[in-house]
Amino acid sequence: MPLSRESLMYLSMARCSEPQRLYRRLEGRRNSDVVHECRDYHTAGKNSCFFNKNNTLIWVSYNITVVATNALGKTYSDPLDIDVVYIVQPHPPEKLEVTVMKDQGWPFLRVSWEPPRKADTRSGWITLIYELRVKLEDEESEWENHAAGQQKMFNIFSLRSGGTYLIQVRCKPDHGFWSEWSSTSYVKVPEYLHREKSVWILVLVFSAFILLLLTWLIHMNSHSLKHCMLPPVPGPKIKGFDKQLLKSGKSDEVFSALVVSDFPPTTSNYEDLLVEYLEVYMPEQQELMVDKGKDHDGCLKSIGLASDSDSGRGSCDSDNLLMDKSGAPKEEQQQQNQEGDQIGKETQGPKEAWEKEAMPCANEDVVSPDASSEKVKTWPSVFSPVTPYSPLDPHNSLEMHKQHCLSNTQFPPGSPSSDHYIKEALQSSYWEVCFNNNQPYPQTEVHPQLQAHSDRNISAVNDRNAPTGLLLPTRMTEYVEVQRVNEENKVLLHPIPSGHSREKACPWVGQRDDYSKVKGVDSDNGLLLQREVVEEESMEMAGAAESCYTSSIAFTTPKPTACSPVALPVQDERVLAVSGYVDTATVFSVHT
Amino acid sequence: MQLETILPVCSPAHKQSFVLCVVAMCRAVPINDLIYRASQQSDKLHALSTMLTQELGSEAFPIDRVLACHTSSLQTPTDKEQALQVSESDLLSLARSLLQAWSDPLEVLSSSTNVLPYSAQSTLSKTIQKMQEHSKDLKDGLDILSSKMGPAAQTITSLPFIQTNEIGQDKITKLLSCFRRDSHKIDSFLKVLRCRAANMQPQVC
């Protein structure tokens, strides 16, 4: 039975169960048994009675009863004792205002209201406590209540961007009943970018950028990464095999190429190679030549080492290689030098003969190792007697003592035309190089093997240019020196600069004879060199090719073995125009 | 500290000016805070008594048609207009008198809980104990406050409670009803006083 202290007191009654029309009467009684009958049954609605302020006093107990009367009699309801002051329900707050305000870019709602007009809060006679509730306009949203105490203003934060809110407020006296909810106020929150969202967007953009950067970096370094993570597996390479041939797809050529080249590769007896070494012709100016040769070698240092690990093109300057290998080859070299000296001395006599007949050989320090194969020949070569050796064959029946300096140049292996040249070389004249028989090593065993490999050796000659073996006229005497023995037991020779030919003064005739091939080994353990005509254009060595070395193709036949007398019977009349040298790279291997 | 010497005599003739005078004089002592604190205590007191009467059931408290409390003799305003015309000192005096009148009955009530049914005993005893505490605090605060408000506030009307023998259950309920009304009166008076003293703080009222 809510009452309003201020203005009115109204009572509402429950309907009686009797269907008959009732005569209702409300009586209000105070302490003094004064009964006040209700006169207003309409103001407060149906089944109600309204007692105005004149009849209601505070801090006084009233007793109220309802009397139902009909024709049969009267009925009194149970009395209700009340004190007006305890049952006050105020009117709802008024002038509800909601505004959107910004706090550092973030919006919030400021709700303000007024107490009901009829509540005298100014005097303190009634103290009101407020409560408000907020809701989004969605159907699923629930009301959110907030206690505001005695204040008439309230802030609401954490709003949804762009949402519409409903707000209501109510009040109650400190010891009374809650009023009804005020009328709803609608407010729309403007759109704003939530800070968390903006942070996430920033993080996303940043990570995307980082990802792009990483992708670009990986792409740029893909090659090196690939190299690092998937190191290239050295594939098998068939020496003397022409890859281009394979790509061309003609099986016949492929097979023939296989046959022609020195496949299967022969194993080399490096030990023999180390022990046996060529006896080379050692002229008087041996040391000089040696030095010159070494200098010559030095000039070839500029020839770049092939960097390809699989490439057979090692340093064109085997001397350099020797030096690169921390001195050990050096010692070997020197040791061999000494040996060579010894040998040289021994062969002084015949050397003179040689000198007459030997051809000058341009010292070419083309030290390209076995270029036919692509493997780097880092064999600490048997730097045997160093000095130029002239094909010596005191026992040889060869009339011509012509020394060809065959340059052991680099040439790309597997040149397509190599097989042609090989065949040609087979028929060409050849030199027979025979080693000095002063060598302590047994020659007999060398010989058959040398012979056995003759063909192969010849075939191993894989020049790009047509090596036309030709013997030089006796006019020119060239000296070669064994530079080193590569790992295929090939003695690499390089020309020792003769008196007239130096590093820089290597005349470069267009076509030269190249005697860098050993055609075979004759019965006397003589190396049969093959003369080739070298075209000029070969400068395949890594660019640094001076004119001081021929561009003749380097080729190696397997296994230089030492056979005692080194005889280079010059059988060809052609003069080696430029410096060439006998390349003992085409030494035969000891065993087959 | 002798407040009487510090405080000049403020004329209580005009309510507003009196309060302002008191406030101005007692700048060092925050009267507003004292009144606020007192009103809070009275609010709690009344809340307790209301809760007690409601918990024990209305049937336990049949209000007498003639609810003759021992404090009925004290003339108090019967409506708002009358209440707003009473001066602060009188309001304070009335409050203090009423409060003083209930110290003894509360003692009697606390010792008479065994009369009530067992279920109500614990509630009654606890609540009565709390009410005594709040009543004591309020009394002390009003004493201090009255000392700052001049001699008129010091007047306390004596409302003796005479009950020698044991009170029955009906008596208890009647006493509780009377106490509820008187606590409401005290609360109302102090809140009116609070609003009057907080002219500089309109948000309170």
CB contact under 8 A, A127 and B50: no
CB contact under 8 A, A123 and B78: no
B67 touches chain A (CB under 8 A): yes
DSSP H stretches of helix in A120-250: 195-220, 222-229, 243-248
Q: Which of B75, B176, B191, B193 to mutate to test the interface with A (most CBs of A within 10 A)?
A: B191
Neighbours of A326 (CB within 10 A): 8
CB-CB: which of B63, B195, B203 is closest to A151?
Answer: B203
Q: What six digits make up the tokens of A165?
A: 């809110």
pLDDT at position A266 is: 60
A60 touches chain B (CB under 8 A): yes
B174 touches chain A (CB under 8 A): no
Q: What is the per-residue DSSP string for B156-201?
A: ---------S---HHHHHHHHHHHHHHHHHHHHHHHHHHHHH-TT-
DSSP H stretches of helix in A347-466: 348-357, 418-427, 446-452, 454-460
Q: Which of B80, B185, B194 to mutate to test the interface with A (most CBs of A within 10 A)?
A: B80
pLDDT at position B203 is: 65
CB-count exposure of residue A438 (10 Å: 0-12, 13-18, 19+) = middle
Per-residue pLDDT tens listing for chain B (205 residues): 444 444 445 555 556 666 666 665 555 557 888 898 899 999 999 999 999 888 776 555 555 545 678 888 888 888 888 888 888 888 899 999 999 999 988 988 888 877 777 777 888 888 999 999 999 999 999 998 888 887 877 888 888 887 766 677 777 888 888 899 999 999 999 999 988 887 666 666 7
pLDDT at position B175 is: 85
Could you give the CA distance from residue A422 to residue A87 in angstroms, rounded to a whole number?
Answer: 128
Neighbours of B147 (CB within 10 A): 15
**CA B14, B18, B20, B24 torsion: positive or negative?**
positive
Residues A81-123: pLDDT tens digits?
Answer: 888 888 899 999 999 999 999 888 788 999 999 999 988 888 8
Q: What six digits make up the tokens of A122?
A: 């100014």
Query: What's the number of CA atoms in the CB half-sphere (13 Å) around residue A178?
Result: 9
Residues A389 and A282: beta-carbon distance below 8 Å? yes
Instruction: Give CA torsion, residues A398, A400, A403, A406, to 10 deg.
Output: -80
Could you give the CA distance from residue A471 to residue A117 in angstroms, rounded to a whole number?
Answer: 135
- Which residue ranges of chain A lie beneath pLDDT 50? 1-9, 14-23, 291-309, 312-315, 318, 320-473, 499-510, 536-578, 582, 585-592
Could you give the CA distance from residue A465 to residue A459 in angstroms, rounded to a whole number?
Answer: 14
Could you give the CA distance from residue A222 to residue A215 in angstroms, rounded to a whole number?
Answer: 10
Amino acid at A387: T
pLDDT at position B53 is: 85
A124 vs B contacts (CB less than 8 Å):
191-196, 205
Strands (E), A336-414: 360-361
Q: What six digits make up the tokens of B132?
A: 């005594």
A31 touches chain B (CB under 8 A): yes
Residues A363 and A300: beta-carbon distance below 8 Å? no
pLDDT at position A342 is: 47
Could you give the CA distance from residue A434 to residue A369 in angstroms, rounded to a whole number?
Answer: 21
Query: Which positions ≥6 away from A221 have C-beta within 8 Å?
Result: none
Residues A527 and A566: beta-carbon distance below 8 Å? yes
pLDDT at position A315 is: 47
SS3 call for A341: helix
E strand or H helix at A136 = strand A128-136
pLDDT at position A114 is: 93
SS3 call for A520: strand
Could you give the CA distance from residue A586 to residue A262 in angstroms, rounded to a whole number?
Answer: 12
Shortest Cα distance from A63 to chain B (angstroms)? 8
E strand or H helix at A323 = helix A318-324
CB contact under 8 A, B181 and A59: yes
Beta-bridge partner residues of A28: A36, A64
pTM of the model: 0.50
Query: Which positions ≥6 away from A524 have C-beta within 8 Å?
Result: A393, A395, A396, A432, A434, A447, A563, A565, A567
> Is the confidence metric ipTM above 0.90 for this complex?
no
